[in-house]
Amino acid sequence: MSTPDAGSILAAFRAELATVDSPEALEDLARRHTGKKSAVKALLKGLRDVDPAERPAVAAAINETAATIEAEVEAARERIDAIALEAAVAAEWMDLSMPGTLMERGARHPLVEVEDRCLAVLARLGFEVVDGPEVEHPFYNFDALNIPEHHPARDMQDTFWVDGGWCLRSHTTTVQARVLESRPELPIRVASRGRVYRNEAVDATHGAMFHQLEGFWLDRGLTFAHLKGVLAFVARSLYGDRRIRFKPKFYPYTEPSVGVDLACGNCDGSGLSATGSCEACHGAGWVTILGAGMVHPKVLRQFGYDPAEVTGIAFGLGTTRMAAQKTGATKVRNLYGQDMRTMRTLKRGAS
Residue 227 pLDDT greater than 80, yes or no: yes
Q: What is the CA radius of gyration of the chain?
A: 41
Peptide bond just before 148 cis, omega within 30 deg: no
Highest mean pLDDT among 60-64, 95-99, 112-116: 112-116
Other Cβ atoms closer than 10 A to 21: 11
What is the Cα–Cα distance from 13 to 8, expressed in whole angstroms? 9
What pLDDT does residue 342 have? Answer: 66
92-106, 141-155, 167-181, 278-292: least confident range: 92-106
With CA atoms as reference, report the closest residue to 263 among 240, 237, 245: 245
pLDDT digits (tens, 9 = 90+) for 229-246: 999 898 888 888 888 899
Q: Give the span between the Cα atoms of 139 and 273, in whole angstroms.
A: 44
Least reliable range by pLDDT among 182-186, 218-222, 332-336? 332-336
pLDDT of 346:
62
Contact 213, 316 (CB under 8 A): yes
CA 141 to CA 129: how far, in whole Å? 19
pLDDT of residue 222: 94
What is the per-residue pLDDT for 205? 57
Distance (Å, rounded) from C-alpha 331 to C-alpha 280?
A: 6
Does residue 154 register a pLDDT over 80? no
Regarding beta strands 128-129 and 188-197, do their DSSP bridges make them parallel or antiparallel, or are they unpaired?
Answer: parallel
Nearest to 9 by CA among 56, 52, 72: 72
Q: What is the mean pLDDT of residues 58-75?
A: 81
pLDDT at 289 over 90: no
Segment among 23-37, 42-56, 134-148, 283-297 with least mean pLDDT? 42-56
Residue type, 245: R
pTM of the model: 0.64
